[in-house]
């Protein structure tokens, strides 16, 4: 009992290690990366029970039930569908042997303990997650403004434009224009591949 309490206090209960790129193919998470779609691992943390694999497209989390069980639950959170937010890094205290990385992806909160010897690598990941969070937040605002702008334009045209001729054809043309505009705006401001961010901040 005392041993467990002591290990918890010192951050030894399930402290993660940062895996080097040359060893990515030796961890389980690599099997679930969509290499066929140009998905690439940029950062990987492995503890006794879990693996946290940050790719250019998603966070892949292999959730282990215990250190002695081989049973794992696979979770995949794409950055385009699950925004990253609330990124925090807690550095180690005098007696601590771990640093703590906290963030939300969608509505789910993560708290990852990593051995403090990896602090420099974790700082790089922290910067990358902060940047992704900022880009996603700004893009979401822009998408909201774009949709509001389209609604305003549609309402204004409806008030001032007197349709003549074939109403069905004109409605179809207007609808197609609005649809194409929304699709193109969505493609522009909904980023699916954040490889450019990881390449800038991750130094391994």
Q: For residue 130, what is the domain's CATH number?
A: 2.30.29.50
Residue 64 is predicted with a pLDDT of 82
Strand blocks (E) in 56-97 = 58-64, 72-78, 84-90
- pLDDT value of position 72: 84
Each residue of 58-96: b (16+ CB within 10 Å) or e?
bbbbbebeeeeeeebeeebbebeebbbbebebeebeeeb
pLDDT in tens, 113-158: 999 999 999 999 999 999 999 999 988 887 776 666 666 566 655 5
pLDDT digits (tens, 9 = 90+) for 53-75: 999 999 999 998 655 557 889 99
Mean pLDDT of 102-114: 96
State the total domains in the chain. 1
Q: Which residues pair with 101 in a beta bridge?
A: 89, 112
- Name the residue with tokens 């906290």: 102
pLDDT at position 174, please? 63
* Alpha carbon distance 65, 10 (integer Å): 22
pLDDT of residue 191: 87
For residue 98, give its domain range.
Answer: 1-204
Task: Give the N- to C-terminal CA distance of the chain in Å, as an integer.
Answer: 39
Q: Check whether 165 has a pLDDT greater than 90.
A: no
Q: Is 13 exposed, middle or buried (0-12, 13-18, 19+ CB in 10 A)?
A: middle
Which range is least confidently modeled, 1-5, 27-31, 163-167? 1-5
pTM metric for this prediction? 0.76
Report which of 127, 138, 148 is spatially closest to residue 199, judged by C-alpha positions.
127
Best-predicted range by mean pLDDT among 75-84, 85-94, 163-172? 75-84
Residues contacting residue 48 through CB under 8 Å, at least 6 positions apart:
14, 64, 67
Instruction: Calculate mean pLDDT across residues 186-202.
Output: 87
Contact between 198 and 79 (Cβ < 8 Å): no
Higher local confidence (pLDDT), 72 or 86? 86
């Amino acid at each position: 009992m005392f041993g467990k309490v002591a290990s918890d206090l010192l951050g030894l209960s399930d402290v993660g290690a940062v895996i080097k790129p040359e060893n990515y193919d030796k961890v389980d998470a690599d099997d679930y990366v969509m290499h066929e779609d140009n998905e690439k691992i940029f950062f990987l943390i492995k503890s006794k029970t879990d693996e946290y694999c940050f790719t250019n497209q998603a966070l892949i989390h292999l959730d282990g039930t215990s250190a002695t069980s081989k049973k794992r639950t696979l979770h995949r959170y794409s950055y385009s569908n699950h925004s990253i937010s609330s990124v925090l890094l807690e550095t180690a205290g005098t007696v601590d042997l771990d640093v703590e990385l906290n963030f939300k992806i969608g509505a789910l909160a993560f708290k990852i303990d990593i051995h403090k010897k990896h602090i420099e690598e974790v700082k790089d990941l922290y910067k990358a997650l902060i940047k992704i969070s900022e880009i996603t937040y700004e893009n979401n605002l822009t998408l909201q403004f774009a949709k509001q702008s389209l609604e305003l334009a549609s309402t204004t045209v409806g008030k001032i434009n007197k349709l003549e001729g074939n109403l069905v054809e004109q409605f179809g043309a207007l609808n197609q224009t609005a649809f194409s505009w929304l699709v193109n705006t969505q493609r522009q401001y909904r980023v699916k591949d954040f490889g450019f961010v990881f390449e800038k901040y991750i130094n391994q």
